[in-house]
Chain A
Amino acid sequence: MPDWKLLVRQQMGETSLAPAQMEEIVSELASHFEEVFDEARARGASEMEAFNHALSEVSNWQEFAQQINRAKQEEEIMNDRTKRFWLPGFISAASASVFLMILAKVSYEPRVILWRSSLMIMVYPIWLVGQPLFGALGAFFSRRAGGTRWARVLAGLFPSLLLAAGMLVVILIQALTPGKFDLGSMDWVMLARSIFAGVVVPSVGLLLGALPFLREAKIQHLAGN
């Protein structure tokens, strides 16, 4: 009976996997070879024929070892979450930011809108009009990478999520700074106004743009999961 473990270990060569993990793989592959060998012997093959038959299970050991390495490594350079959410989200947010920077560069002034004669909101109409495009970008890239519907929605909404997170961080820093935060003196109306103009309204535009990409792309993702 051939020493399959020794053979597999030798053929696999050096790998980047942990020794315990490699040993587990060697045991599993060796047991598979053993089954193929035994089956061939049971069919009446000679030991040499059965050995060669089992060996023919792997034609290119180098390629096989690389595939096993890739499959066993915990994280790929870019994992699925990065491809389906983070990257599309950042593309969306970066596009929205660049657009806003361009508007600032050409001295585009925000419009001031009075709501119910007291609530004043500052908006950049052209920037708002551009939101569906940024939402669409995020959702499109997420869908292309095989993102779920939720991943596409979140990638499309990413610029708003980022801004909301930024606001939250500022509020938290103020709250945690001794002597700086006073609930009574907090301008809640101003905060609500900023959230409405900076987060809620753009989110509607982003969602509108993401909508066409929320439908399942049936054939495209057939095999590329």
Chain B
Amino acid sequence: MMTTRIRSKIARGSAELAIMSLLSKQALYGFEISKRIEEESGGALRFNLASLYPMLYELEKRGWVKGRWEANRAGRDRRYYCLTPAGKKKLAPLRREWQVFFQALDRLAGVSNA
């Protein structure tokens, strides 16, 4: 039970960081976010619809991202997400926390040499 909780918290935290990092570069809509995460992680990370939208809505509720409807190049209406000022402020400490986490994990398990 505890292991599952830790795992799900880590997965959730890493998903937040991945989404917010992407949105810090440019506004993207849901499908683009999932594609970009998959491409930029070399296929290691994949967000399907079921995992992406609850996370996006949660981030939006916290005021870290904001969605707005716009037509894309093909003329279809898409909801584009961008990072809010509060989200930009949150991203830096979030990155630092993960850096500390990976350094700690590296010291513990030597994952960078694996």
Contacts and interface: CB of A to CB of B under 8 A. Distances in A.
Interface of A: 24-25, 27-29, 31-36, 56-60, 64, 67-68, 70-72, 74, 80, 218-219, 221-225
B10 to A, nearest CB: 5
Given A36-B31, A58-B48, A68-B53, A31 B77 contact: yes
Counting chain B residues whose Cβ lies within 8 A of the other chain, the interface size class is 20 to 34
Nearest to A63: B50
Dominant SS among interface residues on chain A: helix
B39 interface: no
A60 B50 contact: yes
A134 B96 CA distance: 31
A223 B14 CA distance: 7
B76 to A, nearest CB: 7
A219 B13 CA distance: 11
B44 interface: no
23 contacts: A24-B79, A25-B53, A28-B79, A29-B53, A31-B31, A32-B30, A57-B48, A57-B49, A57-B50, A58-B49, A59-B50, A68-B53, A68-B54, A70-B54, A71-B53, A71-B54, A72-B57, A72-B61, A80-B62, A218-B101, A219-B97, A219-B100, A222-B10
Interface of B: 9-14, 16, 29-31, 48-50, 53-55, 57-58, 61-62, 76-79, 90, 94, 96-98, 100-101, 104
Contacts of A222: 9-10, 13, 97-98, 101
Dominant SS among interface residues on chain B: helix
Nearest to B61: A71
B34 to A, nearest CB: 8
B8 to A, nearest CB: 9
